[in-house]
Amino acid sequence: MESVDDLDLLEHMADELGRAQSDLRRWRDYFEGKPPLPDVDDPAQRENYERLLRISRINLTETTTLALADRTQLLSFRTALDSDAEGDAKADQLMTASGFHAIKRDLMEFVYSYGRGLTLVERASAEGAAPRCTLESPEQTTAYTSPGAPLDVQGALKVYRDPLAREDVLVLFRPGYNLVARRPYKGRGAGFTLPGQGKKWRLRLDQWEFDAEVEATGLDEVPVTPWSNRRGLPEVEGHIETVDRINHRLMQQMVIIALQAFRQRALEGAPLKDPQTGKPIDYDEIFSSDPGSMWVLPPGVKLWESGQADLSPVLKSVQDDIQYFALETRTPMYMFTPDAANGSAEGASLQREGIVFKAEDRIDRLASPAVRTMSQLFRLSGDAERADIGSLEAVWAPPERESAQARAEAAARAKEAGVPWRDRMAMFIKASPREIGRMETNRAADALLEGDAQ
């Protein structure tokens, strides 16, 4: 069944997956707007304190991540048989049938929020069906690649729970075959943990039983493809302290506002004891704070009331930190504050430059994993010519998004320069492959109607 090499690789990847759990969970919490809360010594106040912290947080991480994901959209692929600007229609059909289209947006969110994402390609479950492409979470799946060769995948590991079969499943992916191990799931409290549950995880092989038969994958390489972000880190990993500082100041702002709602009052010149009885005077009972109460002050006594604190410095400090965060992450400021969108067109264009350059860099990094995944899908569907990895080219939506007027003017100038119609639609109108197909059909129908009218 399993060889020593397989077990060595399995244990190595399991250790890597177990050690990564704390970082992966922390990155997921920040993306979901739930960064770790500080510890509170007094258990009685912990719940109220945590509630105050939760309602005072702002989720800048998700905004930054989605801003980049929106500008790195994978559309289709060009192949050796169809290298038009809008891509191969067969590639687009296979992406839809396999589920690649359905997962690509979530895949980009994984890449930018976890620092990496993974895709798994599997052969068709029924004859005549398309192969399947699934998105795998870095919390439950990992891949081992050769040093210096990020796409030379030597093996991959996936650990998950099958609730219907009531068992935990471990899959070791190797070139050409899979090894599968299982253990029964005995419910909560049984002591069995899995990656992705927010707890420390360590592989214990004595708890697992390997299947007697090895699963053939139909590929001569590992069917798992890692998609890595720059340095393998989330977009905000180097800016976590800035996010924490912004949330801390927002909390302080809420505390100040809450405390200032109850102004302090004092009496000047009022006796502390009753002149007649000599007993201490309870001014809290005398001066009720009810809306309809009337206060009568003794002669010569003055009432002092504290003023409202100036929150402008606190508000300004939060705005400044958000500007620093936008600068660090190269995210347009108008995505965080609506007021920034009221500037000049040139200023908005300059703000977009940073995120456009960043998106272009990420597209260059993710093009190779995209081609590898699509090549495997073509091979499992029996299309060897289109599976040629040297001829495959990913088609991405342009990171720079011009207005409809600017695109129309550019297309008109391209027509004057002799650029073909389909290239104009793809390069200047920015239409997707499917949109271009519909436009071409409607264009032919319009030409037919015009001919009949003449």
**Max avg pLDDT among 1-10, 55-64, 96-105, 352-361:** 96-105
**pLDDT computed for residue 321 by the predictor:** 83
Helix (H, G, I), strand (E, B) or coil at 278: coil
* Across 44-55, average pLDDT: 74
Q: What kind and span of H or E run contains 161? A: strand 149-162
The closest of 170, 196, 176 to 18, measured between CA atoms, is 196
**pLDDT computed for residue 116 by the predictor:** 94
**pLDDT computed for residue 166 by the predictor:** 87
Structure tokens that stand for 386 in this block: 């289109």
**Max avg pLDDT among 160-164, 306-310, 370-374:** 370-374
Structure tokens that stand for 97 in this block: 């049938």
Structure tokens that stand for 111 in this block: 């890449």
Structure tokens that stand for 77 in this block: 């692929």
Report the 10 Å Cβ neighbour count for 393: 18
The closest of 75, 12, 25 to 205, measured between CA atoms, is 12
**pLDDT computed for residue 192 by the predictor:** 64
Question: In the chain, what are the helix, strand and coil shares in percent, each to the nearest 5?
Answer: 45, 15, 35
As separate numbers, helices (DSSP H) first and strands (DSSP E) second, the chain gives: 12, 13
**pLDDT computed for residue 355 by the predictor:** 86
Q: How confident is the model at residue 315 (pLDDT cuts 50, 70, 90)?
A: confident
CA distance 372 to 415: 35
* Across 351-373, average pLDDT: 90
443 φ/ψ angles, rounded to the nearest 5 degrees: -65, -40
Asked if residue 223 lies in contact with residue 122, where contact means CB atoms within 8 angstroms, the answer is: yes
**pLDDT computed for residue 138 by the predictor:** 93
The closest of 442, 361, 273, 338 to 68, measured between CA atoms, is 361
pLDDT in tens, 259-305: 676 677 777 777 778 777 878 877 777 777 777 777 777 777 787 77
Type of residue found at 134: T
* Across 53-65, average pLDDT: 84
Q: How confident is the model at residue 342 (pLDDT cuts 50, 70, 90)?
A: low
**pLDDT computed for residue 117 by the predictor:** 95
CA distance 255 to 447: 68
* Across 44-71, average pLDDT: 82
Q: What is the dihedral of CA 27, 31, 33, 34, to 10 degrees?
A: -20
The closest of 180, 174, 183, 140 to 156, measured between CA atoms, is 174
**In the predicted model, is pLDDT for residue 216 greater than 80?**
yes
Higher pLDDT, 188 or 253: 253
**In the predicted model, is pLDDT for residue 7 greater than 50?**
yes
**pLDDT computed for residue 322 by the predictor:** 85
Structure tokens that stand for 19 in this block: 């050690």
pLDDT in tens, 72-100: 999 889 888 876 666 688 898 999 999 99
Going by C-beta distance under 8 Å and a sequence separation of 6 or more, which residues neighbour residue 104?
A: 73, 74, 95
Among 165-179, 291-305, 328-342, whose mean pLDDT is lowest? 328-342
Whether pTM exceeds 0.85 = no
Higher pLDDT, 273 or 311: 273
Where are the domains positioned within the chain?
Answer: 4-39+57-237, 265-305, 402-454
* Across 370-382, average pLDDT: 94
- Largest Cα–Cα separation, the chain: 113
**In the predicted model, is pLDDT for residue 8 greater than 70?**
yes
Query: 226: exposed, middle or buried (C-beta count within 10 Å: 0-12, 13-18, 19+)?
Result: buried
Higher pLDDT, 419 or 189: 419
Asked if residue 109 lies in contact with residue 73, where contact means CB atoms within 8 angstroms, the answer is: no
Give the mean pLDDT of the chain. 83
Structure tokens that stand for 417 in this block: 């320069």
**pLDDT computed for residue 44 by the predictor:** 67
Going by C-beta distance under 8 Å and a sequence separation of 6 or more, which residues neighbour residue 393?
A: 77, 78, 83, 367, 371
**In the predicted model, is pLDDT for residue 227 greater than 80?**
yes
**pLDDT computed for residue 4 by the predictor:** 46
Q: How confident is the model at residue 1 (pLDDT cuts 50, 70, 90)?
A: very low
**In the predicted model, is pLDDT for residue 42 greater than 70?**
no
* Across 160-165, average pLDDT: 87
Instruction: Give percent of the chain with pLDDT exceeding 70.
Output: 87
pLDDT in tens, 113-142: 999 999 999 998 777 788 999 999 999 999
Report the 10 Å Cβ neighbour count for 15: 14
**pLDDT computed for residue 363 by the predictor:** 94
Q: Between the CA of residue 358 and those of 112, 354, 365, 400, what are the distances in Å?
A: 12, 6, 11, 11
**pLDDT computed for residue 2 by the predictor:** 46
Higher pLDDT, 118 or 215: 118
* Across 179-206, average pLDDT: 76
